[in-house]
């Protein structure tokens, strides 16, 4: 990773691991349908974050962090934000 690359740290609480996955989600009661929120996940927490979102029917897609650049996001990624 170069010095210019933004920090990609896992969104799981207490984890400071390098994120390798972007977990895309949408809460239809808060967001328009084409809006995508992102949680970043390390290998260890990807499943946990996906499960959390799946249980609430918010989960949309999980992509490699490198692919996030190519995805239209409503705003910058933020952990557990709205
Ligand atoms: Zn993690």
| pLDDT for 39 | 95
| pLDDT for 70 | 81
Residues 6+ apart with CB under 8 A from 32: 74
| pLDDT for 4 | 60
What's the CA-to-centroid distance between 31 and ligand 1, angstroms?
25
Distances in Å between the Cα of 42 and the Cα atoms of 31, 33, 39, 59 are 25, 26, 10, 17
What's the CA-to-centroid distance between 8 and ligand 1, angstroms?
11
| pLDDT for 78 | 56
What's the CA-to-centroid distance between 53 and ligand 1, angstroms?
15
**Mean pLDDT for each consecutive 10-residue tract of the chain (82 residues)?**
69 95 96 93 97 97 91 59 46
Q: Cβ distance 18 to 42 under 8 Å? A: yes
What's the CA-to-centroid distance between 11 and ligand 1, angstroms?
7
Confidence (pTM): 0.78
Domain map of the chain by residue range?
A: 7-36+43-69
Residue located via tokens 């979102």: 53
| pLDDT for 77 | 54
């Amino acid at each position: 990773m170069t010095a210019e690359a933004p920090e990609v740290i896992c969104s799981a609480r207490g984890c400071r691991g390098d994120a390798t996955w972007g977990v895309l989600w949408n809460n239809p009661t808060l967001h328009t349908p084409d809006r995508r929120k992102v949680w970043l996940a390390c290998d260890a927490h990807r499943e946990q974050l996906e499960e959390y979102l799946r249980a609430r029917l918010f989960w949309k897609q999980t992509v490699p962090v490198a692919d996030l650049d190519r995805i239209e996001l409503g705003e910058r990624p933020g952990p557990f934000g709205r």
